[in-house]
Chain A
């Protein structure tokens, strides 16, 4: 069976890879990451003397620092990249042509999200040598690095789908970018809100309002880093303790991270569907009119264009 790649994704990756923006972006990304690594290393090693016993702990601590730096940069760049994906096509006046092809609005949106995720994944994969410094002495496994890539992929997909959704709403790229950050903030805030309300209402207990945290990308990342670094969790008792039965069932071990990842992919699909619906030009129903007399009756009686149909002067048309 022949696998057919999404044409939008293929084209976008090709066009992006050819632009100097990509090269400069990659360089800036790696430079910032390397700079942060050096700063973090300097802070961690300040006043400590390395020996075979403490070097593991010092270098392993760099993993969340670099990881969070990567996630932060992804969180900043993806909305910018994707927010202009649809609006950019509209500005370039290529969007209408795209809609006249056989590609469905859903496939267009999916292509746009995946191409931006692919670009971000390229940045992340290119930064593996810097990341590898935290792994060099075997403090963290390659499996953790692989999981980190999956986490970044999920995070980028959510951020990308939010960006494309905002891009489908607005005609201007700059408005889309601002809107994407607002929507992203709302996703983070609204998923914490039930917990805050319950906390204040019950004066201490959060019950199962924490379930909404499954959709919170910040909690998702936090859980991943805590789990991979210390095996600890936000729900281990130190931070959130009086949670409900359902939360208790899923908050131990990697289950929370897996469910959270699935929920965020679901949320991404929801944003993509909304974007697809938004860009679909024919969402409304068209009324069928069985037969109705033309309003300008004297000017034109509809017939096949074989003969001249009642040619009249402008005045006669208006009078008719």
Chain B
């Protein structure tokens, strides 16, 4: 569905997007995640035709986005990170306005608008002025607006920013519902937990580079395959580290006050032997468990920051 190849965007000497290549298949719910300034919004704006790329190419449904701009606009529905609504318009007029900007007839717009308002749960707000809607409602209205021309690809830039928890849940349900209807959706966010709950794939960007991309389940499996073990130690952590390092198949990842994180590539017997050795040398082990694949930890590692 979306095919980005060797995309670059420079602002003077600053590289906002650096050699980005990404393929998103049809029907995917793709989460674009990264810290602020990672290049997510820049990439989205280039795909939507709001920003020229320095180099590279973008294809949507096989159509060159830079050569066939009008056609591409029909393929994409864009929801920016702000509401972008006119306060002096009623909800149905707002949709009519955007529908007419896509060249739709008024009768068609109203027919589609009714269905969309039902989909986003705003059917009873048709005659209401947009400025009287809550933030969550405005955001859902923006999604309805982006779907008016029945685009194949829906792109949402930080759709949950500024929304209360309930509105976030409603937004999440709406997007999952749209995805189940066959829409390909790209969501940009810096809130990984939110994306990990609904996305089928994610891509992590940092400083203009796509540092990782893949199916979310594969990523989890991969992280679990790392075989990390957390040992909770009550007395002599240094001694425990020394014992662990004596074993060839053990890698010590980090040492905290009462915690030792290791990964083990050897057999279970070898691991048992290491634990026994620690206990024989009077190290008080109060906990011993396998670390679960944590996306936020991975995000932190890849971006060198703290996930929100």
Contact = CB atoms under 8 A, between A and B. Distances in A.
Interface of A: 4, 7-8, 10-11, 14-15, 18-19, 92-94, 96-104, 281-284, 286-289, 291-292, 294-296, 299-300, 302-315, 317-318
B23 interface: yes
Contact of B88 (A19, A287, A294, A302): A19
Interface of B: 5-6, 8, 18-19, 21-25, 28, 30, 45, 48-57, 66, 69-70, 73-74, 76, 78, 80, 82-86, 88-89, 93, 97-98, 100-103, 145, 149, 201, 203, 206, 209-215, 218-219, 221-223, 298, 300-304
Contact of A306 (B22, B45, B215, B223): B215
Contacts of A283: 52
B304 A314 contact: yes
B225 to A, nearest CB: 10
Most buried by A among B50, B70, B100, B303: B100
A103 B19 CA distance: 31
9 contacts: A11-B89, A15-B88, A94-B86, A99-B50, A100-B73, A289-B8, A305-B23, A305-B28, A311-B212
B84 A287 contact: no
Contacts of B22: 302, 305
A310 to B, nearest CB: 8
A98 B214 CA distance: 33
Contacts of A286: 52-57, 66
Nearest to A101: B101
Contacts of A284: 52
Nearest to B15: A295
B211 A308 contact: no
A99 B211 contact: no
The 5 closest A-B pairs by CB, nearest first: A302-B21, A308-B214, A101-B101, A7-B100, A287-B55
B80 A97 contact: yes
Most buried by B among A14, A97, A302, A318: A97
- Determine the main DSSP class of A at the interface with B: loop
A287 B28 contact: no
Nearest to A98: B101
Contacts of A288: 55-57
Most buried by B among A284, A302, A307, A313: A302
B66 A282 contact: yes
A300 B210 contact: yes
B19 A294 contact: yes
Nearest to A111: B101
A76 B229 CA distance: 75
Given A102-B74, A305-B24, A282 B52 contact: yes
A261 B223 CA distance: 73
A282 B49 contact: yes
Contacts of A96: 45, 50, 78, 80, 84
A287 B66 CA distance: 11
A304 B78 contact: no
A296 B208 CA distance: 11
Contact of B89 (A15, A101, A291): A15
Contacts of B76: 100
Contacts of A303: 23
A113 B49 CA distance: 24
A72 B11 CA distance: 44
A303 to B, nearest CB: 7
